Amino acid sequence: MPFRAPVTDFQFLFDHVVDFAQIIETERFAETDNDTRDAILLEAGKMVEEVMAPLQRVGDLQGAVLENGVVRTTPGFSDAYQQIAEGGWISMSALPENGGMGLPHSVTTAVNEMMGSGCLSLQLNPLMTQGQIEALEHHASDEVKEMFLSKLVTGEWSGTMNLTEPAAGSDVGALRTKAERNDDGTYSVTGQKIYITWGDNDFTSNVSHLVLARLPDGGNGTKGISLFIVPKFLPDENGDYVVPNTLKVVSLEHKLGIHGSPTAVMQYDGAKGWLVGKEHDGMKAMFTMMNNARLGVGGQGVGVAEAAYQHALAYAMDRVQGRSPIQGGTGSIMDHADVRRMLTGMKADIFAARAIEMACAVALDMGTATNAKDWHARAAFLTPIAKAFGTDTGIKVAEDGVQVHGGMGFIEETGAAQFSRDVRITAIYEGTNGIQSMDLVARKLMDGGDAAYAILDEIEDCAEKVRESMADLAEPLWQATETLREATEWMVAQGDLNDRFAGAVPFLRGFARVLGGYYHLRAAIAEGGEGPRSKLAKFYIKRLLPEHAGLLAHAMEGAGDLYALSPEELGAA
Amino acid sequence: MPFRAPVTDFQFLFDHVVDFAQIIETERFAETDNDTRDAILLEAGKMVEEVMAPLQRVGDLQGAVLENGVVRTTPGFSDAYQQIAEGGWISMSALPENGGMGLPHSVTTAVNEMMGSGCLSLQLNPLMTQGQIEALEHHASDEVKEMFLSKLVTGEWSGTMNLTEPAAGSDVGALRTKAERNDDGTYSVTGQKIYITWGDNDFTSNVSHLVLARLPDGGNGTKGISLFIVPKFLPDENGDYVVPNTLKVVSLEHKLGIHGSPTAVMQYDGAKGWLVGKEHDGMKAMFTMMNNARLGVGGQGVGVAEAAYQHALAYAMDRVQGRSPIQGGTGSIMDHADVRRMLTGMKADIFAARAIEMACAVALDMGTATNAKDWHARAAFLTPIAKAFGTDTGIKVAEDGVQVHGGMGFIEETGAAQFSRDVRITAIYEGTNGIQSMDLVARKLMDGGDAAYAILDEIEDCAEKVRESMADLAEPLWQATETLREATEWMVAQGDLNDRFAGAVPFLRGFARVLGGYYHLRAAIAEGGEGPRSKLAKFYIKRLLPEHAGLLAHAMEGAGDLYALSPEELGAA
C-alpha cells in the first residue's frame, strides 16, 4: 500500500488546534498565507509519495557501503536527493537573503515529518543540512556565510554535525578533538568523531562538517569548546572546491535500522576549518542546531508512526480471518475489538504527538517573530517533550504495527519490522530520551515552573469552558491537569536535582499524556463534539489519558530508594 | 560479558515464593527432592553458560539457510544440540516409562528459561520436541508412542508443530490441509503449512511433524480437524528410518530475529502419517502441546529479558561518562538516576514475570500430581498471563537494554539490539498476546471468575497479614487488588464477549501488574522486609504497580466506542 501524505491532518492542526494564524499575523512571516502554506504541504506530500516512499525498502536492503574510502549510497537516493534539492525542500525556512524561502519553521516541520514518513534514511540528509544552515545564519561570520550558505541552501553541498567521540557522548564536555590556529585566520582540526550521520555521500559535490573541538587555551568541560566548519573539499586558487581536505571516513556502522543513512566514524588530521561563533563558545551555536534538530527528530518519530500506522491499517483492512465478531463488519480482522483497539490507539497517539510537535514549532516561530520571552520559554519547554514523546510514539506505534500483522510482522518482506528497526534510533540520537527528560525537569523548570504552569493554565481554561457541554472529555482532562500540576509543583520544589532526575522520564511521559488530551479536546471542540476527531478524542481521553496517574506517581518517588540496591545487589543473580 | 545463569533466583522463588515444596510432597513427584532440583539447576546453568550462550551472536550472523532443499544450520549448533540431548535436557519431564526423568514441569520450565537466555534460536528446537513428547504421551496410541517417543526423548529426532496456513493463522479452524485414510491404517496428508519453527535441520536423523489436517468427512471449523504425526523419513523393511516421505521444505523466512532458527514453509504431498488422538478431535491434542508451549514461550520472554538485563548492567557498570551526580558512586553511568531507574525497573519486572511463570508451572505440576480441579483451573488461568506478560516483559526489558547502551545500542555488534529483535516473535507465536488476552477474559472466566477470585483472595490474605508490619508494601498492594477485583467482576458481568475483548489486553496487563506485586511482597516477607529483594519489592510496588490503575480503567471501557470510528474514518488522513 503506497504511503499517503496526511496533508489534511496538518491543515486541521494548523487551523483548529495550534493556532497557525497568529504566525502569519506577524511582520516576520507576513508573506506567508494559508494558501501558500497549503500549496506547499500538498506539493511536498506529492513529492514524498512519489519520490521518497518508493525508496523506503530499497534503503533497507541496499544500505550505504564504504568502498575504498568512498561512500556508495542506495540506488535511487541520488536522483531523489536532486529532486528534494530542486524542489527547495531543504531551504524552506532559510532566510531569503541567503537564498531560502523564509517560511515559518512550523511549515518546514510538517514537510520534514512527511519526508520522514516516506524514507527516514534519506530524510536525515537534508534535516542535517537544515540544522547547519540555521546554525550558520545565527552564528557564522559574513565570510563563512558567504562561503557556505549558498551551497547548502541549494543542496549542492550537504551538512553534518560532529559532536560525539568514543569517550564523549551525552557528556559532550569530555571531548578530545583539538583545534589549532593557523596564520591565515583558519584553524586545523584533529581528532576522531563517531556516529556522524551522513558523514559522506556520492551525490553532493561537497560535505561541510560542523565539528566541536578544543583550542589549546580552551578550558575543561563544555565552556572551552569551539565550533568549526570543515569542508570535505577546499577551494583551489580559482575558488573551485576540489582540493581534498585532510579528513576521511574511517568506517560505517552496522546498524539495527536506517541502513540507507551512512553513519560514519570520521577522522580529522589537521583538517582546515573556519570558526563558527566565538572561540570557546561553540556550544551555544551547537545548541541552536541541536534544539531544532530535537524537534525535527520528534517529527521523525511521528512520521514513522504515521507510515507504520497506514501500513498496518491497510493490512488489517485486507486480511480476512475468522468469523466476524460483529454485525455489519468488513469481514477483515478490523472487526476484531483488539485490532481496533490497537489501530485506534495508534491513530490517537499519532494525533497527540503531532499536535505537540506542531505546537512546539508554532512557539518557535512566534519566538522568532516576536522575540517575546514567553514564546521562547514555551518553545524551549515543549522541545524535549516533542522529541521524547514523538519518538516514544514512533517506537510504540511501529511495535503495534508489527503486532497487527501477526506472524507476518516478523517477516522482513512485510516492511512492518523495518519501521520498528528504523525508528528505534530516534529515541537515542540528538540526546537520548532520558537526557530530554532531565533537560525538562532541570533546565526547563529553572523558571520556577512558569512555562509549565502557563501551559497548565491554558489547558484548564479550555477545559473549564466546555466543562458542562463536553463533560465526558473536559472533566477527566481537568482532573488529570490538576494531578500534573501537583507533580510539576513537586518537581519544582526538589532542591536536589537527582530527586527530579529519578522521575524525569515518567514525568515527561505523564506531561505528554495530559498535553495530548488537551489537543484532542481542542480538536473535538473544533468539530462541535461530533465527528471522527471527537470520537478519537474520546478514545484517547477514556483509554489512554488514565495512564498519567501511574506515570506521575512514579515521577514523584524521588531518588532515595533508587540507590538502595547496590550495583552488586543489582548484579546478584 | 558472559551470561550467568540465575540459579539462585530460581531457588529463591521455589523456596519462598511459589511453594515448590508442595510438589515433591505428592506421590507423583516424590522422587524429586530439593537437592536433586538444585543439582539439576546448577548443571543446566553451567551447560547454558558454556555451550549455548557462546552461540547467541553466531546464530544471528550465520543463520539457517536452505541449500538445494536442505537446511544448513548455524556453525556450532549441531555440537551444542548433541550436548543438550546427551545431557537429558530435552526429556527431563518425559515419563520414566518413555525414557524421561519424570521431573516436575516447574524444573523443566526453569531450565528452558535459562536455555532461552543462552541462545533463543537453538532453545526453540528442544522446546518444540518437548511439546511433541507431551502431546504423544497424552494422546497417541501405543503403536505411535512405540514408533516415535524413544527417538524424541533421546533427541535423535526432533519434533515440530504444524498449525498455520496462509489463510489460517489465529483462526485455525479455517485450515485446508487434507488427510485421507490409507488401507493400512495410516493416512496421507496433503497441504501447505507456514511458520514451521525448526521445520528441518542437519543434526537430527529424522524430524517428526505434528500436522493438523481435515479428513474428507471432517466438518467445518475446528471440530473437524484431526492430528497426524508425519515423519521426514519413513521406515524401510528393516525398520530403519531412511525412506524419504513426500514432504519438503519449500523456503525459509527472512525474519527480524532468531535467524538461527529456520522458519519453514512446509509442503506435504500425500505424505504418510499416523493419527494422534481420535479422528476429528485433533484440536484437543494440539491444545495440550500449545498450552505448555505457551508457558514455555512466556519463559522465553523472561529468559531473553534476563540476558538483556545482564548485558545492559555490565555495560552500565563499565561505561564511564560525565561527572558522577552522587557521592560515593562507582564513577560509571550506573550513578545516574535515570540509568538506575531503567536497570532496577528491568530487574523488578523480570522478577515479577518469572514468579508468574513459575507459579503457573507449579500449578501445572500440582494439577498433574493431584488432578484437582482447582489446580487445573489455576494453571489454565495463569498460562495466558505467563505467556503475554513474560513476552511483553522480554520486549520491554530488551528495549530498555538498548536504551541503557545509548548510541551503542543501535550498533549490531553490541548485541543489545539482537535481544530486542529475537524476543519480538515471542509476543506473536503460540497465539499472539492479543489472543492470550481474549482467552483470559473469555474461556478462563467461564467459571464465573472462580479461578481469578481465588488468586485475589490469596493476595489479600497475604497482604492482610503484614498490613501493619509492612504497610508501605501491603497497603498499596491491597488497594490495587481491590481495583483488580472490581475490574474482574466487571469482566465477568459482560454478557457480550466483545465488551470483554475490547479491554482484554489492558486487563491481562493490569492483572499481571498486581500479581507481580504479590510475588514481590512474598519475597520481601521471606526476607523479613530487609535486604535486596525487599528493596526491589519496594521499587516495584511504589513505581510500577501504580500502572495498574490506568490499565484497568482502559479495560473497563467496553467495545462500544471502539467501533465508533469507521474504517474509512480511521483511514482518512
**At A78, is the pLDDT very low, low, confident or very high (cuts 50, 70, 90)?**
very high
- pLDDT above 90: residue A410: yes
A427 touches chain B (CB under 8 A): yes
In a domain, B497, yes or no: yes
User: Helix, strand or coil for residue A181?
Assistant: strand
Q: Does B540 touch chain A (CB under 8 A)?
A: no
pLDDT at A572: 59
Cβ separation of B341 and A562 shorter than 8 Å? yes
Min distance A416 CA to chain B CA atoms (Å): 10
| 8 A C-beta contact, residue A200 and residue A71 | yes
Which of A565, A566, A569 should we substitute to test contact with B (largest number of B Cβ atoms within 10 Å)? A565
- Which chain B residue lies closest to A331 (C-alpha atoms)? B567
Task: Find, among B82, B132, B88, the residue nearest to B111 by Cα.
Answer: B88
CB contact under 8 A, A429 and B438: no
Give how far B452 is from chain A: nearest CA, Å. Answer: 22
Q: Does B287 touch chain A (CB under 8 A)?
A: no
> Judging by beta carbons within 10 Å of its beta carbon (0-12, 13-18, 19+), is residue A326 exposed, middle or buried?
middle
Chain A 246-285, residues with CB within 8 Å of chain B CB atoms: 253-257
Q: What is the pLDDT of residue B573?
A: 44
Is B381 part of any domain? no
pLDDT at A274 over 70: yes
A61 at B interface, C-beta within 8 A: no
Which residues of chain B does A320 touch, with a Cβ-Cβ cutoff of 8 Å? 167
| pLDDT for residue A321 | 77
- The answer, for A497 touching chain B at a CB cutoff of 8 Å, is yes
Residue A484 lies in a domain: yes
Q: What share of chain B is helix, strand, coil (3-state, %, to 5)?
A: 60, 15, 25
Does the pLDDT of residue A239 top 50, yes or no? yes
The residues pairing with A266 across neighbouring beta strands, listed in sequence order, are: A193, A249
For residue A133, how many other CB atoms are within 10 A of its CB?
27
Strand B263-276 and strand B187-197: pairing? antiparallel
% of residues, chain A, pLDDT over 70: 100
Options B134, B357, B430, B460, the catalytic residue: B430
Neighbours of B492 (CB within 10 A): 17
The size of the A-B interface in CB pairs under 8 A is: 266
Å between B202 CA and nearest CA of chain A: 23
Are B403 and A433 inside 8 Å of each other by CB?
yes
Nearest to B432 among A310, A403, A420 (CB): A403
* Owning domain of residue B481: 434-562
Average pLDDT, chain A: 96
Residue of B nearest to A513 (CA): B550
In a domain, B127, yes or no: no
Residue A1 sits at the chain B interface (C-beta within 8 Å): no
Measured CA to CA, the distance from residue B400 to residue B414 in angstroms comes to 14
Window 432-461 of B: residues touching A by CB (8 A cutoff) are 432-434, 437-438
Instruction: Identify whether A538 is part of a domain.
Output: yes
Cβ neighbours for A31, distance < 8 A, ≥ 6 positions apart: A102
Q: How far is B36 from chain A (nearest CA, A)?
A: 20
pLDDT, position B321: 77
Cβ of residue A359 closer than 8 Å to a chain B Cβ: no
C-beta atoms of A407 and B433 within 8 A: no
Report residues of chain B scoring pLDDT below 50.
Answer: 573
Measured CA angle at B323 (ends B320, B329), to 5 deg: 75
User: Is some CB atom of chain B closer than 8 A to the CB atom of A543?
Assistant: yes
Q: How far apart are CA B506 and CA A437, in angstroms?
A: 26
> Does the residue B210 lie in any domain?
no
Of the pLDDT bands very low, low, confident and very high (cuts 50, 70, 90), residue A210 is very high
Cβ of A338 within 8 Å of Cβ of B4? The answer is no
Contact yes or no for A573 and B7 at CB 8 A: yes
Interface of A with B in 152-181 (CB under 8 A): 164, 167-171, 173-174
Instruction: Identify residue A17 by its one-letter amino acid code.
Output: V
Q: Which of A142-146, A172-176, A252-256, A492-496 has the lowest mean pLDDT?
A: A172-176
CB B38 within 8 A of CB B110: no
Helices (H), A336-372: 337-370
Tally of structural domains, chain A: 1
ipTM surpasses cut 0.95: yes
Cβ of residue A573 closer than 8 Å to a chain B Cβ: yes
The pLDDT of residue A573: 44
Per-residue confidence (pLDDT) for residue B320, from 0 to 100: 86
Q: How far is CA A37 from the centre of its chain?
A: 21
CA distance A104 to A368: 9
- Are B58 and B76 a contacting pair, CB within 8 Å? yes
Does any CB of chain A come closer than 8 Å to the CB of residue B2? no
Asked if B440 and A419 count as a contact pair (C-beta separation under 8 A), the reply is: no
Range in A165-174, A262-271, B338-347 with the lowest mean pLDDT: A165-174
- Contact A553/B546, CB-based, under 8 Å? yes
Closest C-alpha to A192, from A268, A122, A136, A137: A268
Angle at A555 between CA A425 and CA A168, to 5 degrees: 40
Q: B433-441 vs B373-404: helix axis angle to the nearest 10?
A: 150
Query: What pLDDT, on a 0 to 100 scale, did the predictor assign at position B572?
Result: 60
B450-465 vs B373-404: helix crossing angle, rounded to 10: 70
The stretch A336-357 carries a mean pLDDT of 97
Q: Kindly report the CATH number assigned to the domain that includes residue B533.
A: 1.20.120
Q: Say whether residue B328 is in contact with chain A using an 8 A CB cutoff.
A: no
β-partners of residue B273 are B187
Please tell me which residue of chain A has the smallest CA distance to B405. Answer: A428
Residue A430 designated active-site? yes
Q: Which three cell numbers stand for residue B66?
A: 536452505
β partners of residue A247: A268
Can you give the pLDDT at residue B108? 98
Question: Which amino acid, one-letter code, is at B96?
Answer: P
Does residue A519 fall inside a structural domain? yes
**Cβ distance of A571 and B313 shorter than 8 Å:** yes
Q: If you search the block for the grid coordinates 483488539, which residue do you land on?
A: A338
A57–B contact, CB cutoff 8 A: no
B428 contacts on A by Cβ (under 8 Å): 402-403, 406-407, 409-410
State which amino acid sits at residue B75: P
Interface touch A547/B546, C-beta < 8 Å: no
**Structure-block grid coordinates of residue A384:** 524535549
Of A173, A256, A570, nearest to B417 by CB-CB distance is A256
Residue in the structure block whose three cell numbers are 485490532: A339
A420-449 tens-digit pLDDT: 999 999 999 999 999 999 999 999 999 999
pLDDT score for B222: 85
Q: Which residue on chain B is closest to A314 by alpha carbon?
A: B571
Section A478-487 average pLDDT: 98
Asked whether residue A365 is domain-assigned, the answer is no
The pLDDT of residue A289: 78
- Give me the half-sphere count of Cα atoms (radius 13 Å) on the Cβ side of residue A50: 9
B229 touches chain A (CB under 8 A): no
